Amino acid sequence: MLEVKRRPRASGRGRAREFDPGRSRPSGIIRCALHRRHWTKRQDGRYRAHYRAGRKRSQVYVRGVRVETNAEFLRQGRRVALRRITKHDREEFLGLVESSRALHRRWIVLPTTPDEFDDYVSRFDRHSADGFVICLAKRRSMVGFANLNEIVRGAYQRGLIGYGAFAPSAGSGYMTEGVDLLLDYAFTDLGLHRLEADIQPGNIPSLKLVRRLRFRKEGYSPAFICIRGKWMDHERWAITREMMDTRPG
Ligand SMILES: CC(C)(COP(=O)(O)OP(=O)(O)OC[C@H]1O[C@@H](n2cnc3c(N)ncnc32)[C@H](O)[C@@H]1OP(=O)(O)O)[C@@H](O)C(=O)NCCC(=O)NCCS
């Protein structure tokens, strides 16, 4: 019968003990990138394993919620960055929507359950709609979201933007910076020519935001969008690529 010889396993728990300090006695610090540890020599001549601080980069936690760290930044500003929303954002996004209910209630409707979140993300096929989050450039935690909806190509090259801050960081200027990053991305990388925003006349923070970004008011549509069962009037704001080029500063 064929005898299969197995390599003897390292003694002790897992691979952490494979390095036998008693025999090898290397000098200085030995790094093991694969197992995220290094060894240092103790005073008694033995070696001790240290594990690199922190979790894998894809598993950073902010206030107990896993933060998506692998998604690539499409644009980075002074304080915030823009990246696409992914299915891994579910926990963080839903937690922030929950804590932002009072801020959003009158103006927008967002997913509140895992299934609704999955539907929301699957809507962003990058042809008719594209979804993004605005996050802190350093900590990568989310401060808001911004979407491109109703994208029309051909002779139009237009999109409708939607956005919202998350309550803990609203009123810090992050949204103005983040939506500005989206404008740049949409006009430059996506090749759109015109971006529109429909805003209820009473939504002062949103009106201030588009004014800061130099949108122009183009019209007023009574009973335009149905929000929580009521047809609401909306002001029609827009910015074109040419207008971006002539913005001050
Ligand atoms: C509309 C909305 C996104 C605006 O968000 P916001 O937090 O006010 O926008 P910003 O992050 O750009 O913050 C701007 C405010 O921060 C202030 N601010 C504080 N520190 C700042 C800093 N360091 N840099 C710049 N601005 C700063 C600004 O003065 C400004 O306040 P002001 O508008 O009273 O003058 C937010 O109110 C929201 O989510 N509303 C509910 C959803 C909604 O209405 N979406 C839009 C539908 S059309």
Ligand 1, atom 9: nearest CA belongs to which residue? 175
From the CA of 137, how far away is ligand 1's center (Å)?
Answer: 18
d(CA 166, CA 145): 8
- Other C-beta atoms within 10 Å of 119: how many? 11
Q: Does a structural domain hold residue 5? A: no
Number of the ligand 1 atom closest to the C-alpha atom of 166: 39
**pLDDT at position 12:** 43
Q: Cα–Cα–Cα angle for 51, 57, 62, nearest 5°?
A: 100
R_g (Cα) of the chain, nearest Å: 26
Q: How far is the CA of 53 from the centre of ligand 1 (A)?
A: 36
Q: How far is the CA of 165 from the centre of ligand 1 (A)?
A: 7
Tell me the C-alpha distance between 193 and 210, whole Å.
17
In the chain, beta strands by DSSP E: 30-32, 37-41, 47-51, 60-62, 65-67, 73-76, 80-84, 130-136, 142-152, 158-165, 194-199, 216-227, 230-240
Q: Which residues line ligand 1 (CB under 6 A)?
A: 103-104, 107-108, 163-165, 170-176, 197, 199, 203, 205-206, 208-209
Question: What letter represents residue 53's amino acid?
Answer: A
Cβ(195)–Cβ(123) below 8 Å: no
What is the atom index within ligand 1 of the atom nearest the CA of 176?
Answer: 12
Protein residue with its CA nearest to atom 28 in ligand 1? 173
User: How many whole angstroms separate alpha carbon 181 and alpha carbon 28?
Assistant: 47
Domain end, chosen from 6, 26, 51, is at 51
The shares of helix, strand and coil residues in the chain, as percent rounded to the nearest 5, are 30, 35, 40
The pLDDT score that the predictor gives to residue 54 is: 44
Structural contact between residues 49 and 152, judged by C-beta atoms closer than 8 angstroms = no
Do 127 and 221 fall into the same domain? yes
pLDDT given for residue 160 in this prediction: 98
Token digits of residue 50: 């240290």
237 within a domain of the structure (yes/no): yes
pLDDT in tens, 96-150: 999 999 999 999 999 999 999 999 999 999 999 999 999 999 999 999 999 999 9
Neighbours of 198 (CB within 10 A): 19
Q: Let me know whether 195 and 223 are in one domain.
A: yes
Distance CA 55, CA 61 (A): 9
User: Do 131 and 108 fall into the same domain?
Assistant: yes
Contact 30, 18 (CB under 8 A): no
> What CATH code is carried by the domain that includes residue 183?
3.40.630.30
pLDDT at 165: 98
Condensed to tens digits (0 to 9), the pLDDT of residues 79-110 reads 999 999 999 999 999 999 999 999 999 999 99
| pTM for this model (two decimals) | 0.79
Q: 45 and 132, same structural domain?
A: no
Structure tokens at 40: 């240092």
- Residues 123, 226, single domain; the answer is yes
Positions in the chain whose pLDDT score sits under 50: 1-5, 7-8, 10-22, 24-27, 32, 34-35, 53-56
Question: Number of structural domains, the chain?
Answer: 2
Distance CA 103, CA 227 (A): 15
43 lies in which domain range?
15-51
Find the 67 Cα to ligand 1 centroid distance in Å: 23
